[in-house]
């Protein structure tokens, strides 16, 4: 009887804490943002590969194009308000290195977060209307990234065999 009462009390406490924490999260999630984000996954064709560039923005991101000659992703959007935010996730195998960002012809200095596989570019701007954002990288699609480890292993094997047979 005591264990049933104790278990019921624990379940009520857990359920109420989950309920109150999700309500509080819902209230603060968009506290300072009048226009919640729209998330898109854009397939980018580069040679024989397809990469996914993810965007989350509080304005209408309408299209994304890629120019492999200039190593540039171009994002076209339209905003009916000011106070815009965009978060763009770019695979580092698509374009990498140092990024240059232009918006409607003006150079921006966004927040850029990098890890081994992904670069996140965070833009904040106070402009409404049509928006064209160009992100240019310094590297494009490492051609030999897939076979580089095999070439290195083969080189070590040849070096090892050469040193071993010289001793005999």
Please name the residues in contact with 101: beta carbons below 8 A apart, sequence gap of 6 or more: 107, 108, 109, 110, 121, 123, 133, 134, 135, 136
Residue 168 has pLDDT above 70, yes or no: no
Would you state the structure tokens that stand for residue 16, as one six-digit string? 């109420």
Q: Is 38-140 in CATH node 2.60.40? A: no
More confident residue, 29 or 79: 79
pLDDT at residue 28, rounded to an integer = 41
* H-assigned helices in 29-115: none
Q: What is the pLDDT of residues 4-33, one digit of tens each?
A: 766 676 666 555 554 444 444 444 444 455
Please report the pLDDT score of residue 23 as a whole number: 42
For residues 51 and 44, give the distance between their C-alpha atoms in angstroms, rounded to a whole number: 5
Tens-digit pLDDT profile for residues 102-148: 999 999 999 999 988 899 999 998 888 999 999 999 988 765 555 55
Maximum CA extent, the chain: 83
The contacts of residue 60 (CB under 8 Å, 6+ apart) are 38, 77, 78, 79
Spell out the domain ranges in the chain.
1-31, 38-140
Residue with tokens 């064709």: 45
Predicted confidence at residue 29, as pLDDT, reads 45
Of all residues in the chain, what percent carry a pLDDT higher than 70? 66
Query: What average pLDDT does the structure give for the chain?
Result: 79
pTM: 0.64
Does the structure show a pLDDT above 80 at 73?
A: yes
């Amino acid at each position: 009887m005591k264990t049933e009462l104790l278990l019921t009390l624990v379940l009520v406490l857990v359920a109420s804490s989950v309920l109150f924490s999700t309500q509080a999260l819902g209230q603060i999630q968009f506290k300072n943002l009048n226009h919640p984000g729209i998330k898109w996954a854009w397939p980018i064709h580069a040679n024989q590969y397809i990469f996914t560039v993810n965007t989350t923005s509080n304005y209408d991101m309408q299209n994304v194009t890629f120019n492999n000659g200039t190593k540039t992703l171009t994002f076209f959007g339209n905003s009916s308000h000011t106070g815009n935010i965009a978060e763009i996730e770019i695979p580092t195998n698509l374009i990498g290195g140092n990024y240059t960002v232009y918006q409607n012809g003006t150079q921006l200095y966004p927040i850029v977060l990098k890890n081994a596989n992904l670069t996140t570019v965070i833009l904040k701007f106070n402009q409404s209307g049509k928006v064209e954002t160009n992100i240019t990288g310094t590297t494009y699609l490492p051609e030999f990234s897939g076979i580089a480890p095999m070439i290195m292993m083969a080189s070590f094997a040849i070096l090892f065999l050469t040193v071993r047979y010289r001793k005999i």
